Structure 1
Amino acid sequence: MTATRTARHSGPRTVLSAYVALTKPRVIELLLVTTIPAMFLAARGIPDLGLVVVTLLGGAMAAGSANALNCVADSDIDAVMDRTKSRPLVSYSVPRSHALVFGIALSVLSFAVLGLGANLVAAGLALAATLFYVFVYTLVLKRRTSQNIVWGGAAGCMPVVTGWAAVSGTVDWPAVVMFGVVFLWTPPHFWSLAMKYRDDYERAGVPMLPVVATPRQVSARILAYSWATVACTLLLFPVTSWIYIASALLVGATFLVVAQRLHASVRRGDDVNPMKLFHLSNSYLTVLFVAIAVDAAVGLPVLG
């Protein structure tokens, strides 16, 4: 049965769910978690609610566009990976051409919403992130280098600077620091997942680091990037108070302990569970950025 026939004979709710799945909602949630705190810090308090809604809507559309277009480009990979073989283009819930149009439309709408509701700087940054994710990461880096997620992860950092720009109309150094935090956090996050699904990536011919390097080399790099991530969070101390500082130190120490335990287990040759670090990395980033938002909203005197 062709994709078009399958989509045609599906009910409206099933079709809608398939299109939503194309946008990878769980990924969008994590991206938006970093957007709102960046807006709080840029405003040095609680930003305008209408601007927050517009920025989240436009940002969600941009991320959804990038993810949908990624599904179009990677449908052949997704078909041979157990983790992704239920995605809409693989299960024929959505025709490939429809998914392409859907992804492009979301990007156009995102630019319009951010450009009209926030400013052109925020709109341009969101569009740049989409283009980078699709044309640089998905079409070039992902299938050619084990450093794919390192450089490709830059697209996932853009919601931070987009949120900041939506408030200030520019990009200042605290936004660059937050960009750096997410950039350095991305490799430990994805490499721990790739360790779990190494066979999937190998079968699909994707040279994720765990496919081309030894487990010890992978865990060592995860640990190194984890240290770099926590070190980068300290650069925000001059524009924050004890609320953020205490939170960053506490969750940072927890993150490092789990990363160190993973590396130690690999070195000993024990059975490892990299998903523990993967799930913790989600919680780590969430708590860290919530602390940024709370710190800015409370308005205590900053360290600097």
Structure 2
Amino acid sequence: MTAVDPRVSVQTPPTGPATLRDVVAAYVGLTKPRIIELLLLTTVPVMFLAERGVPALGLVVATVVGGTLSAGSANALNCFYDRDIDERMRRTRRRALPRHIVSPRSALVFGLILGVLSTLMLYLLVNPLSAALALAANVFYVVGYTMILKRRTTQNIVWGGAAGCFPALIGWTAVTGELAWAPVVLFLVVFFWTPPHFWALAIRYREDYAAAEVPMLPVVAGAKTVARQIVAYSYVMVATSLLLWPIAQTGWLYPTAAVVLGGAFLVESHLLLGRSAHTDDVSALKPMRLFHWSNMYLSLLFVAVALDPLLTR
């Protein structure tokens, strides 16, 4: 990977008049659809668990659409605030704001409108508690993570990542109208999953974050420190995932999946730790296998959450 000199401007100039298709794609891109997919994956399965079966289709649709709008709002506002960083990072410089397809003011208005629509939709079609939780997640991500933590501390993604844990609570409250320990456990699973997942990606794009002066842990710490913290969070994540078995009184499918998937995650994290024993160069850790597996782990674990009440009733 070629290093990026932070003193050199990498602003991408406009490449010509934007077509309507470009503009629509740019606004969709502001919502970061791939992140939304992952958030919804931790919402719908929890609805199955809360229902102990198949929840009402209309409720699922309202929760999914409302959650999509809420997450899209948070991501668009993140793009608005972080537009200076995005211009300096190769991974993000092709986004709408660095390319000047969407103006900062338009992105801000777009994000705020999505936030209002999501809150109203969840309030009217789901319930006030789910709407309040979605709004709290939005505010925490934009203000807590983007505006306060991201540029100031190496623990930015640890605490800021809590915003991405709220879908588990929202899915549960959409069905039951109240909180319980089961969704709190799943909230914590995602909370402890986030640092290994995101630090693996941050290792890959370490030069980008360094150029943008964002103090992600892999930017300021050596390979051994990063790998040890990834392993530590991985163990806590797996242990937390097993708590759902007694707390939610699941059948055999969920704990089996949690053990198998968790074991594979721990193997991958230890392989990363093993590579750190031979070098303190973070960029030599080859983290993308762990990153891709972390996506697979969370996806399959929450699929097991959804299937368990259907197959083991």
Q: Report the TM-score, using the length of structure 1 for normalisation.
A: 0.95
Q: Is the 8 A contact 1:45 1:298 kept in 2?
A: no
Match of 1:219 in 2: 227
Q: Which amino acid aligns with 2:166?
A: M
- What residue is the counterpart of 1:207 in the other structure? 215
Q: Which runs of 5+ in 2 are unaligned?
A: 1-13
Give, in whole Å, the separation in 2 of the partners of 1:92 and 1:276: 34
- What's the offset of the Cα at 1:13? 1.5
Equivalent pair of 1:40/1:47 in contact (CA under 8 Å): yes
For 2:253, the equivalent position in structure 1 comes to 243
Q: Which residue does 2:240 correspond to in 1?
A: 232
Alpha-carbon offset, residue 265 of structure 1: 0.7
Which residue does the alignment assign to 2:118? 110
Q: How does 1:1-304 map to 2 (within 5 A)?
A: 9-238=17-246, 239-269=249-279, 271-300=284-313
Retained in 2: the 8 A contact 1:40–1:293? yes
Tell me, yes or no, if the aligned pair for 1:22 and 1:87 is still in contact at 8 Å.
Answer: yes
Would the aligned equivalents of 1:115 and 1:123 in 2 still touch at CA under 8 Å? Answer: yes
**1:7 and 1:15 in contact (8 A); partners too:** no
Which amino acid in the other structure matches residue 272 of structure 1? Answer: L
Quote the offset at 1:298 in angstroms.
Answer: 2.5
Q: Distance in 1 between matches of 2:276 and 2:33?
A: 32
- Does structure 2 retain, via aligned residues, the 8 Å contact 1:262–1:274? yes
Shift of 1:11: 2.1
Counterpart residue type for residue 139 of structure 2: L
User: In structure 2, what residue type is equivalent to 1:286?
Assistant: S
Rounded to whole Å, the distance in 2 between the matches of 1:41 and 1:101 is: 36
Q: Structure 1 residue 8: deviation in Å?
A: 10
Moved more, 178-187 or 243-252: 243-252
CA drift of 1:94 comes to 0.7
52-61 or 268-277, which deviates more: 268-277
Q: Could you tell me whether the CA contact under 8 Å between 1:7 and 1:94 is conserved in 2? A: no
Amino acid at match of 1:133: Y
Q: CA offset at residue 7 of structure 1?
A: 11
SS in 1 for 2:182: helix
Equivalent position amino acid for 1:28 in 2: I
State how far apart, in whole Å, the 2-side matches of 1:7 and 1:182 are.
40
How big is the shift at 1:14?
Answer: 1.3
Question: How far apart, CA to CA, are the structure 2 residues paired with 1:299 and 1:107?
Answer: 38
For 1:1-31, what per-residue CA distance to the aligned partner results, in whole angstroms no more than 9, with x for missing partners? xxxxx79942222111000000000000000
How many angstroms apart in 1 are the aligned matches of 2:97 and 2:40?
25
The residue type equivalent to 2:255 in the other structure is I
Instruction: Tell me what 2:8 maps to.
Output: none
Any idea what SS the aligned residue of 1:55 has?
helix
Q: State how many pairs are aligned.
A: 295
- Cα distance 1:8–1:129, how it changes in 2: closer, same or farther (>3 A)? farther
User: What is the alpha-carbon distance in structure 1 between the residues aligned to residue 36 and residue 30 of structure 2?
Assistant: 11
Give the Cα separation in 2 of the matches to 1:226 and 1:197.
21
Name whichever structure is richer in helix by fraction: 1
Bigger shift: residues 129-138 or 265-274: 265-274
Let me know the Cα RMSD of the aligned residues: 1.3
What amino acid sits opposite 2:45 in the alignment?
Answer: P
- Using the size of structure 2 for normalisation, the TM-score is 0.92
